Every structure is written in structure tokens, then in C-alpha cells.
């Protein structure tokens, strides 16, 4: 296992940790004192950790998780208040930048919730390609209850949640559990707490067993599907043509040849970790 240091201040340790093990980078939010709130320093360290993970050729996929009882409480309201009073706040990537790093990443990102998610923290969940949460986890879009609008997070969240549930939970700010989050499309699976490790391992084994180039291009394809670029009726003929070219390119590639050979030889392909 390799470890990558995160920036630190003279007063305390890093708020985000990055480790790599068997082709999976784990990015851990570690600011339990404020429930892993998205402070400027945490956003800076998170952005750097994501960049480092994506630049590491040994990394096949990324897990995003947290420490303590809360995955992420959303914005650091104390810091927001200080900024509005004109007090200095260290420069940091804003949330759209962080969300885009996850959504536009060339490698899959798996959100593994360690507990509750609120407001902007749910944006991180929605931005991830796969999201697993223990059944004990809870969610709430608390913005309307404190007089603000869930504007920035609406971009990743609206791409995941079904519209009726999105309207309900955005407009009421009410608490909902992991099973409701899965039903609404926000998370991939609500997992019994004791089975989280097994569920996560099953997902990561799938990523570790996938050819890196095909994995990256499939994530890009999913983004295209989500944008509707392939679904519009007037573009279907063009889309089928383009997808045919993409399919032929990969079927003719070295990885596909290795995959076929491994299948017939009844052995793992060379990229399996």
C-alpha cells in the first residue's frame, strides 16, 4: 500500500487522506470535529487528492469515504458566515470544480458512506458513479430550512434522482433513509450495516478485474448516455454509427484479444488485480 501526503497546517493534520491498495485509491474525509463539512481547506485537500489519484497510473478506481459518524454535513456554515462578514478565508476550489473532478474523472468513483449526508455532502454522493450507504445512514437537503437554495448540488443530484422524489426532498428538507435514497435513485444500494465491507469488496473486485482503458471509456459512455446525447431520436442513426465504431475499435484492440485468450484459457486477464 502506498500513501500520499496531503497538505497540512502548522496547527493540525490533514483533513483528507489518500491511500492506494491493489489499484484502488481511497480518499478519506477526516474532519469529524465539524462532521466533515466542506470547508475551504477540506475542499483544497479533497481536490488535490482526487487529482493525485487520477494521475496515478496504478489506480483503477477511487473510493470516497469519511471518518466519524457523518459522511459529510455540507457547507461549513461558520466559514460561510465569516466570509460574508468580510473576514479572510483561504482560497480553495469551489464545489462545482470538485463535483466536476468526480463526474468528469477518467476513472470510476465509488462513494462509500460511513454515515449521514446532508446538503452539499449529498452532492458528493450524487457525483460519484456508484454509491453505497449503510441502511442506518440518513439524508436531508436542509437548504430550504436555513433560507438558501440547493442550487449547485442540483446539477449532480438531478442527474440521479427521480423527479418526484427530487421535488419532495428539495422542497421539504425532510429526513429520509438509505432505503428511500436507493428507491429515489440517489444511491446505488442501501446495505445492512454489517454487510458494508462485503458489498464494497464486491464492487471493487469488479473494478480491479476490468481493463483500465475499457473502464475509462465506459465511464465516458455513461456520461454521454446521461446527457441524452445518444437518446435523441434525430441523432439515433448517428449515435448507432458512432457506437459501432467505438465497439469495433475496442474489439480489435490488444485488451480484447487478451480478454478472449484469458476466457478460453480459464485464467484471469493480465490486468486483474
Active site residues: 143
Torsion angle of the four alpha carbons 150, 89, 55, 216, in this order, in degrees rounded to the nearest 10: 0
Task: Look up residue 266 and give its three cell numbers.
Answer: 480459464
Closest CA to 159 of 110, 126, 112: 126
Give the C-alpha distances (Å, rounded to integers) separating 246 from 11, 18, 229, 239, 254. 51, 34, 15, 10, 14
For residue 272, give every residue at least 6 positions away whose Cβ sits within 8 Å of its Cβ, in sequence order, or none.
Answer: 208, 209
Radius of gyration for the alpha carbons in the chain, expressed in angstroms and rounded: 20
Angstrom distance (rounded) from CA 73 to CA 122: 8
Q: Which residues pair with 133 in a beta bridge?
A: 190
Task: Look up residue 268 and give its three cell numbers.
Answer: 484471469
The H-or-E segment that residue 238 falls in is: helix 236-251
Instruction: List the end-to-end C-alpha distance of the chain, in Å, as a whole number.
Output: 13
Task: Look up residue 105 and give its three cell numbers.
Answer: 474523472
Helix 120-127 vs helix 95-103: angle between axes, to the nearest 10 degrees? 20
Label residue 250 exposed, middle or buried (CB < 10 Å: 0-12, 13-18, 19+).
middle
Amino acid at each position: 500500500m502506498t500513501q500520499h501526503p496531503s497538505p497540512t497546517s502548522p496547527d493540525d493534520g490533514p483533513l483528507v487522506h489518500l491511500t492506494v491498495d491493489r489499484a484502488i485509491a481511497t480518499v478519506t474525509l477526516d474532519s469529524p470535529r465539524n462532521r466533515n463539512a466542506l470547508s475551504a481547506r477540506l475542499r483544497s485537500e479533497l481536490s488535490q487528492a482526487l487529482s493525485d489519484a487520477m494521475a496515478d497510473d496504478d489506480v483503477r478506481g477511487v473510493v470516497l469515504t469519511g471518518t466519524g459518524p457523518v459522511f459529510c454535513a455540507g457547507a461549513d456554515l461558520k466559514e460561510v458566515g465569516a466570509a460574508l462578514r468580510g473576514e479572510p478565508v483561504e482560497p480553495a476550489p469551489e464545489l462545482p470544480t470538485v463535483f466536476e473532478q468526480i463526474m468528469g474523472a477518467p476513472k470510476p468513483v465509488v462513494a462509500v458512506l460511513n454515515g449521514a449526508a446532508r446538503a452539499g455532502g449529498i452532492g458528493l454522493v450524487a457525483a460519484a458513479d456508484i454509491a453505497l450507504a449503510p441502511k442506518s445512514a440518513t439524508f436531508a437537503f436542509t437548504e430550504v430550512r436555513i433560507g438558501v437554495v440547493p442550487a449547485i448540488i442540483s446539477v449532480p443530484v438531478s442527474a440521479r434522482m427521480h423527479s418526484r422524489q427530487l421535488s419532495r426532498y428539495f422542497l421539504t428538507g425532510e429526513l429520509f433513509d438509505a432505503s428511500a435514497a436507493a428507491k429515489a435513485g440517489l444511491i446505488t444500494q442501501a446495505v445492512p450495516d454489517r454487510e458494508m465491507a462485503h458489498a464494497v469488496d464486491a464492487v471493487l473486485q469488479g473494478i480491479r478485474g476490468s481493463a483500465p482503458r475499457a473502464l475509462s471509456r465506459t465511464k465516458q459512455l455513461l456520461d454521454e448516455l446521461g446527457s441524452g446525447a445518444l437518446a435523441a431520436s434525430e441523432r439515433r442513426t448517428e449515435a448507432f454509427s458512432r457506437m459501432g465504431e467505438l465497439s469495433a475499435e475496442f474489439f480489435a484492440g490488444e485488451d480484447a484479444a487478451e480478454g478472449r485468450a484469458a476466457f478460453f484459457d480459464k485464467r484471469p486477464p493480465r490486468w486483474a488485480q
